[in-house]
Amino acid sequence: MIDSHAHLQDREFNKDLDKVLARATEAGVEKIVCIGFDYMSSRQGMDLARRHKSIFATVGIHPHDAKTLDEQTLEKLYDLALKPRVVAIGEIGLDYYRNLSPREQQKKAFIEQIKLAQELEKPVVIHDRDAHQEVLEIIKKEKAGINGGVMHCYSGHTPLALELIKEGFYISFAGPLTFKNAKKSHEVAQKIPLDRILIETDCPYLSPEPFRGKRNEPAQVKLVAQKLAELRGMKFEEIARITSNNARKVFRIDA
């Protein structure tokens, strides 16, 4: 399996990262994409990828921190993105749930980082919370999926997912897929093409059942894969193989 979205640089893992990685390997997780959410976390993720063969990194400014993205930071992100094992720009996007940065600044930062990804010919990893329509409009207008992209921890409905797939995106499911009341996510997971599905943890957040409320870690992506297999009426091993191949394709990771 490949955990397509993890935050291993989070302080939650400061004391036991080696054990976390060992448990991931034991569970069958062969690769982990460590996602940047501000400049420092992007640097830290890149450093982890340099030290561990199982880790790849992305660099980007999360919509919560959009107000911090200036020309100098954009240049520093560009330099980081050129480093080996940096596979995408992200996570970027819009978050209208918390609004920790003004919405206009979120849009500006989103568009600037899409352009950065296009210049570097890299895919984008998108965070979208309570902003589905505006995210889709920006994606279409800016051709954000021209080099591929991932809608991380997807929370929209099926028609939107199919629109995003047309724009070049993969749809990624996290721990909430295992929740009993996640009927909308269950429907999306059943209906979209298999060759556009990814699995992730978003660790240390969004633990799947039965670990809800506790720290999440890459080993638990197996529970997401098992739920996806159940929803699709397939064997776990098939889902693991297909989602791993999808992750390799979008992030251009060698087998």
> 94: which DSSP letter?
E
pTM of the model: 0.97
Asked if 10 contacts 204 with a C-beta cutoff of 8 angstroms, the reply is: yes
pLDDT digits (tens, 9 = 90+) for 188-246: 999 999 999 999 999 999 999 999 999 999 999 999 999 999 999 999 999 999 999 99
Structural domains in the chain plus CATH codes: 2-251 (3.20.20.140)
Burial of 81 (0-12, 13-18, 19+ CB in 10 A): buried
Report the alpha-carbon angle 251-252-253, nearest 5.
90
For every one of its 255 residues, what pLDDT tens digit does the chain have, with 9 covering 90 and above?
999 999 999 999 999 999 999 999 999 999 999 999 999 999 999 999 999 999 999 999 999 999 999 999 999 999 999 999 999 999 999 999 999 999 999 999 999 999 999 999 999 999 999 999 999 999 999 999 999 999 999 999 999 999 999 999 999 999 999 999 999 999 999 999 999 999 999 999 999 999 999 999 999 999 999 999 999 999 999 999 999 999 999 999 985
Nearest to 211 by CA among 190, 203, 200, 185: 203
